[in-house]
A and B are shown apart, each in its own frame.
Chain A
Amino acid sequence: MTRSDFSFKRYRKWVIPLVLLAAVTEGAAIVCGATFGKLEEGLIKGAAFFRFMFPPDWAAFSEMLEPAFQSIMIAFLGTVFGTLLSIVFAVLASSNLAPGWVRNSARFLIGLERSIPEIVILLLMIAAFGLGPMPGIIALSLGCVGMLGKLLADIIEDLDPVMMESMESVGANKMQVIVFGVLPQILPNLISYSLFRLEINIRLSVLLGAVGAGGIGYELDYSFNMLQYHRAFTALLVVVVMVFGTERLSYILRKNIKMEGALK
């Protein structure tokens, strides 16, 4: 090592990237009309608004329990159906279980699904089913496929090929190979991923509720629109407790699933 390695010259390679980043950031801020002045103004207003919301309307608390429960149930049903749908798609999207063209089409559909936000699916489903939990459940189910379908398909493709060959060599058919060879081997991952997806779906079900799927999200949106800010604050607290609680629960459950040997 020489003296020059410690001189300021070593920062030279950072100059151009940093200048570029600064220029792009400034450009983006101009396009969006974002300024620090506006941020300051917003923070002051926000703080005032928060003071205005305080204290929460505890009388409304009992009214929030049912919608909160409904939100959790929407997330739960969405995850159950979504997981089942994901298993079907994952099997179709695995090169060791499906012919090439089926695998590629299934992978394409899964990728396509992943590129559409749940909220867009919900809006499409509301057009078909009307407002309420039903379009929410369907949007969340389809949302699962984009994530779980891909993850499970990748795991299936990594399964021991000789294990599957050895099942075929006793005369087992595809269905039997899936039920006896594939499902038991992917089960720990399947449970762990769907619990993780349940966490995501609970957060999403609040969001979707505000757009028209009912539940606690609707209560939140409604209270704001009716200018009942104390009530909105109660709803917000319920959401925080609900999301935090289910996340912890799912984390504890996932930690206790034995992953050893799952991929062998």
Chain B
Amino acid sequence: MIEVKGLTKSLPNGRKLLDDIGFKVKKGEFVGILGPSGAGKTLTLRCLNGLLKPDSGSVIVQDELGKKHDICKIDKKELRQVRQRIGVIFQGYHLVKRLSVLENVMIGRLGQISTLRSILYGFTDKEAEEALLALEKVKIAHMAQSRTGNLSGGEMQRVAIARAIFQSPTLLIADEPISNLDPSNAKVIMKLIRPLSEHIPVVGVFHQPEMTAKYCTRVIAIKDGKVIYDGDPKLSNKRLEEIYGEELGQLEQYEYNAPALAINEEIRLL
């Protein structure tokens, strides 16, 4: 379970980036966060595992023993401990490209083993087996020994999911995990993430309402740093317009003012 309450973050000039964001995600839920660019989706997500400290508010997560932690208030050491059980998938598959696929999966456990053992790359056979199992779950166990940099985007994102699975997380966060992928790879990734939500809460930021409608159990829409919608993943056109409307409007306005259009107009008049 993860509970977000009253997240607020402002720029020094007073502009509010996050304005009283609050929601609660239980296990069994796959929540997709939607919203126009710059609305504060990724910012919210970064607060969930402490990559960003909000000005106020709290993010309560439960660790594997059921103990509750407030990510916004704990110190560095405790944060590192809590993070061991939070799986994170990033937009651009930011893996260590020169390490093997298996080693990248192993990185998922770094927080859970001693520094001395880890810097000698001293993983046990049991850990290697579990890492392979995680790779099997995302169907790329046969690539375990390949250099990660040689994989395609979709394959790298699967490695990132395997790494998260290998963490045996109590919470999974995904920041635009399918934005850089083609539609079929995007579907594969969504199909791999979806079943994970049966055991743990999953929160992801997405740009594709049709994908969240299909795979998520719930959608939260954020606009201007506020939650403007929280509920059924299938959104009506009117609702979509409400969420993305202003962005579309700005785009149209921009096109209207674009100099290229003005020149076309002149040519037409001539």
Residues of A in contact with B (beta carbons under 8 Å apart): 160, 162-163, 165-173, 175-176, 179-181, 184-185, 187-188, 260-262, 264
Contacts and interface: CB of A to CB of B under 8 A. Distances in A.
Q: Among the interface residues A167, A171, A181, A264, which one has the most CB atoms of the partner chain B within 10 A?
A: A171
A228 to B, nearest CB: 53
A229 B82 CA distance: 74
B95 A180 contact: no
Interface residues of B, number: 33
B51 A165 contact: yes
A171 B83 CA distance: 5
Interface in B89-111: 90, 92, 94-99, 103, 107-111
A238 B167 CA distance: 59
B2 interface: no
B110 A180 contact: yes
Interface stretch (B112-120, B179-187, B208-216, B254-262): B112-120
A160 B149 CA distance: 13
B111 A163 contact: no
A264 B97 contact: yes
B38 to A, nearest CB: 19
Interface of B: 49, 51, 80-84, 86-88, 90, 92, 94-99, 103, 107-112, 115, 118-119, 121, 149, 160, 163, 167
Nearest to A163: B94
B217 to A, nearest CB: 24
A170 B107 contact: yes
B96 A172 contact: no
B108 A169 contact: no
Contacts of B82: 171
Contact of B99 (A170, A176, A184, A188): A184
Nearest to A185: B98
Nearest to B104: A180
Nearest to B79: A171
Q: Which of B103, B107, B108, B110 gathers the greatest number of chain A CB atoms within 10 Å?
A: B110
